[in-house]
Structure 1
Amino acid sequence: MTRHGFVVGVRPEKREEYLELHRAVWPRVEQAMRENHIRDYSIFIIDDVLFGTYEYVGEDYAADMARIQADPTSREWWTRTNPCQVAFGPAPAGTLWREMDLAWHMD
């Protein structure tokens, strides 16, 4: 199992829209993540910053992430959520979220 943490900004004028979307995440979006070995996914918010964490329990992270990226419902979901977000500093091309390095963890 590996832990992943990500950060992104939320547009102040879209903050409530983003939160409303996540009060009722589409079941197929969650299913795609579960099918591709994502567990214990959480998103936290403070001011205009979103922080997400999850555990990956599969064996081929790149392949599983590619399957989620290809999922039509997930792609449609992102057409709703991405306009609410803004990159937090320099994000990799094609993404808004930046992956963070794990500095410390306690079980």
Structure 2
Amino acid sequence: MKLKIITILLAGIFLTLSACQRETKPVKRFASITGLKADKLATYKGLHAKAWPSVLNKIKDCHIENYSIYLQKINNDYYLFSYFEYSGDDFDGDMKKMAADPDTQRWWKETDPCQQPLPEAAAKKEIWTNMEEVFHTN
């Protein structure tokens, strides 16, 4: 009986170790920045306090994880900093899938008017400006 219990315990430990040793898929990190119109601050915060479940599901469906948006006031201007990790294999395809989603399009119609793109993004008719990663550590 003791031998059977030890064998079962060892098998469980082996399976646990095997699962821990599996390679995790590398993620790509993305950060971007945009302005926020001061008169839309409450609206923007309110939208994100009650983010639509369908939009959150589409974010996950498109392999986006650890998505955060931060707010900072500099002088009299507000800025949003966005960070997320992408774990999929086709970033452009997943972004097209997200952009084609009707609920996400409706969400953007609510959030985009709150934002004030930086000049380089505005010139490309975009909202967010991508940022360069200069340091990362685990």
Structure 2 length-normalised TM: 0.75
Q: Which has the higher helix share?
A: 2
Q: Is the aligned partner of 1:27 residue 2:58?
A: no
Percent identity between the aligned chains? Answer: 33
User: Which secondary structure does the structure 2 equivalent of 1:55 belong to?
Assistant: strand
Deviates more, 1:82-91 or 1:44-53: 82-91
Q: Is the aligned partner of 1:106 residue 2:117?
A: no
Q: Is the aligned partner of 1:87 residue 2:113?
A: no
Q: Determine the structure 2 residue equivalent to 1:65.
A: 95
User: Which secondary structure does the structure 1 equivalent of 2:45 belong to?
Assistant: helix
Aligned residue type for 2:105: R
More contact order relative to length (CA 8 Å, sep ≥ 6): 1
Q: Is the aligned partner of 1:7 residue 2:33?
A: yes
The structural deviation recorded for 1:89 is 2.9
Structure 1 length-normalised TM: 0.96
1:55-91 superposed Cα distances (whole Å, 9 cap, x missing partner): 0000000000000000000000000000000112311
User: Which secondary structure does the structure 2 equivalent of 1:90 belong to?
Assistant: helix
Alignment partner of 2:68 out of 31, 42, 50: 42
Q: Is the aligned partner of 1:18 residue 2:48?
A: no
**Unmatched runs of 5 consecutive residues or more in structure 2:** 1-26
Counterpart Cα distance in 2 of 1:76 and 1:94: 18
Counterpart Cα distance in 2 of 1:89 and 1:3: 23
Aligned residue type for 1:90: E
**Unmatched runs of 5 consecutive residues or more in structure 1:** none
1:10-35 superposed Cα distances (whole Å, 9 cap, x missing partner): 00110111011000100010111100
